[in-house]
Amino acid sequence: MAKKVEDRKSSGRGQRDLKVKVKSARGRKLSSTRWLQRQLNDPYVKRANAEGYRGRAAFKILELDDKYRFLVPGARVVDLGCAPGGWCQVAVKRVNALGEKAGKSQGRVLGIDLQEVDPIPGAEIHVLDFLEDEADDRVKEWLGGKADVVMSDMAASSSGHKQTDHLRIITLCEAAAQLAFDVLEEGGTFVAKVLAGGAEGSLQALLKQRFTKVANVKPPASRSDSSEKFVVAMGYRPESRDAVAEADADDPLAG
């Protein structure tokens, strides 16, 4: 890889900020060169490497938790689409899954993904399509009960068409929310990535029906040129049996 270091004076500091510039190599697309240059100069990528996280995305959940405090010692956490594992790494530390914080409750972290994920100390990771029938039952079985937090940094494969990709990720997020409704304890938290684009209204309405507080946040670690944001829904309210019975009574096709 050919690269060039550019000297730039930092305004007002008298120091030099070294920025890596990547030269285009024969056979490599310009978009790939730009991505590589961005990675090499991304402070979150550098921090992730220095602090042992598997990706810069770890800082997104760190920043969200710093603000909303849902990854507390003793919490039981489900991470949907957990590869490569950065969110699990953060959760393990914060919920005390390894029992390293004396006098604090020990939590559990369950990672779910379609592919194999390298082991993470303190996390239990399973290969599972969460869209499968009875996936929620398997999650509760592995967790030994219900969860306090369900979180998802999943994104559907890009088609290159902005509107289509937006609809895909909203659909994926809605499916994750439905699983959360089945596995969350009362008062629990749901955190998921969405893309701004206008179709998330149905998701917002759904979450506001089932949670006492719903916030939309773009953490500092989320790149400024990205349309991603995160929804943090707190205070889960399970549907009462009476409410379900009323809904069935109003539906002529029910039963």
Instruction: Give the distance, in angstroms, between the CA of residue 43 and the centroid of all CA atoms in the same chain.
Output: 20
Give the integer Cα–Cα distance in Å for 17 and 20: 10
User: 189-219 burial string, b = 16+ CB within 10 Å, else e?
Assistant: bbbbbbbeeeebeebeebbeebbeebeeebb
Classify residue 232 by its DSSP letter: E
How many CB atoms lie under 10 A from the CB of residue 49? 12
What distance in Å separates the CA atoms of residue 166 and residue 59, rounded to the nearest whole number?
Answer: 23
**Residue 193 falls in the annotated catalytic set:** yes
DSSP 3-state percent helix, strand, coil across the chain (nearest 5):
35, 25, 40
**Residues annotated in a binding site for S-adenosyl-L-methionine:** 85, 87, 113, 129, 153
Say if residue 50 is exposed, middle or buried (CB neighbours under 10 Å; 0-12, 13-18, 19+). exposed
CA 25 to chain centre: 34
Residues at the annotated binding site? 85, 87, 113, 129, 153
Tokens of 35: 């991505």
Which amino acid makes up residue 22? V
* Dihedral sign, Cα of residue 167, residue 169, residue 170, residue 174: positive
- Catalytic-role residue among 193, 208, 213, 218: 193
Kindly list the catalytic residues. 193
